[in-house]
Structures are given as structure tokens and as C-alpha cells.
Amino acid sequence: MKTLKKLVSLALVLCTILCVFSFPATAGAASAKTNTVKKVTLNSKSETIYVGNTFQIVPTASNSKGKTVSSAQFTYKSSKTSVATVTKKGLVTAKKAGSAKITVTEKASGKSAKLSVKVVKFTLKNYPVKVVGIDKNQYGANTEFTVTFNWSDKAVKQFRFYAQVYDAFGDLLGV
């Protein structure tokens, strides 16, 4: 009887130990598998940016089942910081004309993706503006006119404007 009690007690202790330690380990292993990054993708593979403008990189890490790993953390590195820089949060700033590659790496897995960046200088060349209805009898050759340009490109901060003003008959009013 004492031997039977000892065997039952030992069996219960072993069952308790196995139950306590095996279930969390199994759950943890499953959780680790779903959080293991297998692939990093970016919101763009290549971008052309004007000098002075920015582009926000949005990386996505996914597991072997294609599900997003929301706990992923990323680092960013530019191959040519003189052309394009990138912040710790993935904001790319175009510095000067040229090309650079931005590498985005997921910290835990080391998986990465690259963004090709082409930086171009904005130039405004011979943009014709036609002002209709100027009468040379009403306006003299030295009359000043205000011409306003509006555009959404933030790269353009200033420019030089040269114009020749003609009347409705094609006669030159001024330069």
C-alpha cells in the first residue's frame, strides 16, 4: 500500500511538472514561428525625387505564411548620403542629383529590401506664357506687369524670369 501511494504521488508530481513546463513552451514556440520575419517589402522599389524633396519609406515584414509581423523593427541606410539621406524613421531627403540605394533591414531577422532613389535637379526651361489683349497704345514699352506662377513642387524655391512682351498684333512691347 505504501509503495502504491509512493508510485501514485510520483506519477502526479511528474504529470504536474510535464503539464506546467510543456504547455507554455509549445505556445511560445508557435508564437515565435508566427513572429519570425521571412520577407521585407517596401511601398516602392524605386523613386525619382527632386533635390530638396522627401519620400517616406513604409516597410512591411511578413512571416512564412505571408502574415504581417507587427512587432518588426527596421534600420535604414543610404549607399550615398551626399545624394540622399534617410532618418531612423525612413524619411528620405534628396540632397543632390545622382543615384543611391536605401537598404531597409529588419533588426531581429536581418532580412532586408532595397529602394533605388534617383535624385534630379528641377529646371524650368523656356516655359511660354502668353498674355492676351495687351494694347500697345494703352501700355508703353516700359510698363511693368506682374506674372504669378503657382505649382505644388516644393523643390522650386526661386527662379529667374526673363520675358518679352508682345501686343495682340505681335509687336514687341518690351523685354
Is a pLDDT exceeding 70 seen at residue 166?
Answer: no
- Sign, CA dihedral 79-85-88-91, equals negative
* Alpha carbon distances (Å) from 15 to 4, 10, 152: 16, 9, 71
Is a pLDDT exceeding 90 seen at residue 90?
Answer: yes
What average pLDDT does the segment 47-73 reach?
93
pTM above 0.75, yes or no: no
Q: What is the pLDDT of residue 25?
A: 47
Please, what is the average pLDDT of the chain? Answer: 75
What average pLDDT does the segment 119-125 reach?
74
- What residues form DSSP beta bridges with 48? 118
